[in-house]
Structure 1
Amino acid sequence: MLCGNWSLSRGSFISINPTTASFPIPRIINSNKNPIKVIRKDEIIRSSYSSPTANSSTKSNTVMDAVPKPQKLTFDFLTMKPYVPPSWASHLNPIPSHIFSLGHFPTPIHKWNLPNLPKGTEVYIKRDDLSGMQLSGNKVRKLEFLLADAVAQGADCIITIGGIQSNHCRATAVAAKYLNLDCYVILRTSKVLMDKDPGLTGNLLVERLVGAHIDLVSKEEYSKVGSVALTDILKAKLLNEGRKPYVIPVGGSNSLGTW
């Protein structure tokens, strides 16, 4: 069941409150069959294994290397720093003042071997799927600028909008959680599903696990009202409650997000 609703001028949202929703959130359980073992850095691992010799059936105890110390990360995750554009873009305006480090950049470029390519043609792929875990893909590049701007403006919550399985909305919800900001996502779905729980599948599962506030709107309502008006209505509601919302448009595609 969905909890709560509030009216629009031409219809209604169905709002899911992550703290009061009656649907069950699955627990992550560690199986007793595979217990998690914490090993101290200075602990020596001893293991018993079979000799590599095919005809040997004897076993011996071998002292292996100590657990290696974790390598120092090469990026400043979750830090905001001044942004310096590349030289070829320094003439563009407006230039973002800051950027939040939310991904593993730069991502690699791999040559892709595809069949039946014209002679002399080579295909290379920019692997932005390796930019992070929940934030993988190009969405994180936009959020690095947008969330830096949100924090600079003193926002305490984020509003964004997209389809029911929007990758952008999922990435925004996770990134906002990293920065201790509440996230409100307006998700477009079919009219027949408006009165049903949207479920715990795909991006919806991630959004619910990180505590995002989910508002559902029908495709028909979305077409009539528009994404800007829908986010403005929610923004006005939150401002009236004393919050400081920051609106990110569909896909994060504005002059700042597409920088």
Structure 2
Amino acid sequence: MDLSAFPRVALGSWPTPLDDAPRLAAALGGPPVLLKRDDVNGLGAGGNKLRKLEFLLGRALADGADTIITFGALQTNHGRQTAAACAKLGLRCELVLTARVPMTGEAYERSGNIVLDHVFGANVHLCADAEETAAAYEKVNHDKAVTLPIGGSNGLGALGYVAAAVELVGQLHDRGIDDALIVVPDGSGATAAGIALGTELLGWPGKVHAASVSHPAAEASQVLRTLCAESAALLGVPEPELAHLTVTDDTVGPGYGVPTPEMWDVLKLFAETEGVLLDPVYTGKAAVKFREIAATSDVPVVFLHTGGLPGFYGYAPEAVARFGSA
């Protein structure tokens, strides 16, 4: 997989660590557990979106863009990382954010990712509904602006995680692990799609489990397959079969961005066994599925930590209510 033909900017610190998690594995009573730490890749408080943005912003700069427009919920990790990347590259950043999640209050609306958006110099447009979102977008769009999809998730963005798949499989091989199960949070889709496509193109014998944090499994699976097909077309390879990919939605709970008791439990488990912090929206809910899988797997299990820590502070009142008096 030669990705050198695609314009790319350097935003992250690669490779990110692949850490053993022996205390977590012991608590789960299953096989070895490893954590792929894409939460510690530097720029803009880290996270998985930087891998996508390397390709998306590389193309935007090659096309002469001076402004980047993108979308998300109020606590979007993608928006925060896009704002940081634009600051580094000298690009104007317009974030059109919509109140998609049924969360309110000072913490959710004014702290966490959204305050960092301002710190990184983005212009933030808060919208109540689709009509306001469309109006805000029309106001900031112009001929030197490039629009990125929610989560940076399209075929080009997914190439960032095709590259990550090569990196991760190489790290596993260096440890003598040639068969494993990778659990990855699945929101807008390109992270899981890139991992699934990359591992298939490598002929890797392991499996990939995408734990949806937002959409029903059938919908999430279709999005993943569409993204994989788009990336495969860019690479000039056949559309993948994805027989090694499983998608589930049973840890979403009441909805995207809405905490569940199980999520808080597993967040505490990661913290007290390995000192690793999850976020309530993506990694926390995916880790609930990871806990279930890792307890019964007959091969090592890798959890792809996609970051999102700043968003934790948007849920501070809920965290204090859960843990503050412990």
TM-score, with structure 1 as normaliser: 0.53
**Is 2:15 the counterpart of 1:106?**
yes
Q: 1:216 maps to what in 2?
A: 126
> Post-superposition shift, 1:138?
0.9
Distance 1:243 1:212, change over 3 A: farther
Equivalences, count: 155
> Post-superposition shift, 1:210?
2.1
Give the conservation status (yes or no) of the 8 Å contact 1:135–1:175: no
> Post-superposition shift, 1:84?
3.5
> Post-superposition shift, 1:132?
0.7
Give the conservation status (yes or no) of the 8 Å contact 2:18–2:36: yes
Q: 2:139 maps to what in 1?
A: 237
> Post-superposition shift, 1:135?
4.5
Q: 2:102 and 2:15 mapped to 1: Cα distance?
A: 43
Give the conservation status (yes or no) of the 8 Å contact 1:103–1:135: no
Give the conservation status (yes or no) of the 8 Å contact 1:156–1:243: no
Q: 1:132 and 1:101 mapped to 2: Cα distance?
A: 11
SS state at 2:118 partner: helix
SS state at 1:171 partner: helix
SS state at 1:169 partner: helix
> Post-superposition shift, 1:238?
3.6
Letter in 2 for 1:144: E
Give the conservation status (yes or no) of the 8 Å contact 1:129–1:138: yes
Letter in 2 for 1:255: G
More helix by share: 2
SS state at 2:50 partner: helix
Q: 1:213 and 1:252 mapped to 2: Cα distance?
A: 18
Q: 1:123 and 1:184 mapped to 2: Cα distance?
A: 39
**Aligned-residue identity in percent:** 37
TM-score, with structure 2 as normaliser: 0.42
Distance 1:130 1:215, change over 3 A: same
Aligned-residue RMSD, C-alpha: 3.1
> Post-superposition shift, 1:230?
4.3
User: Which protein is bigger by CA-based radius of gyration?
Assistant: 1
- In structure 1, runs of 5+ residues without a counterpart are 1-82, 86-94
SS state at 1:105 partner: coil
Distance 1:236 1:153, change over 3 A: farther
Q: 1:125 and 1:193 mapped to 2: Cα distance?
A: 29
Give the conservation status (yes or no) of the 8 Å contact 2:21–2:32: yes
Distance 1:188 1:211, change over 3 A: same
Q: 2:75 maps to what in 1?
A: 165
Q: 2:266 maps to what in 1?
A: none
Give the conservation status (yes or no) of the 8 Å contact 2:94–2:124: yes
Distance 1:212 1:258, change over 3 A: same
> Post-superposition shift, 1:199?
5.9
> Post-superposition shift, 1:108?
1.2
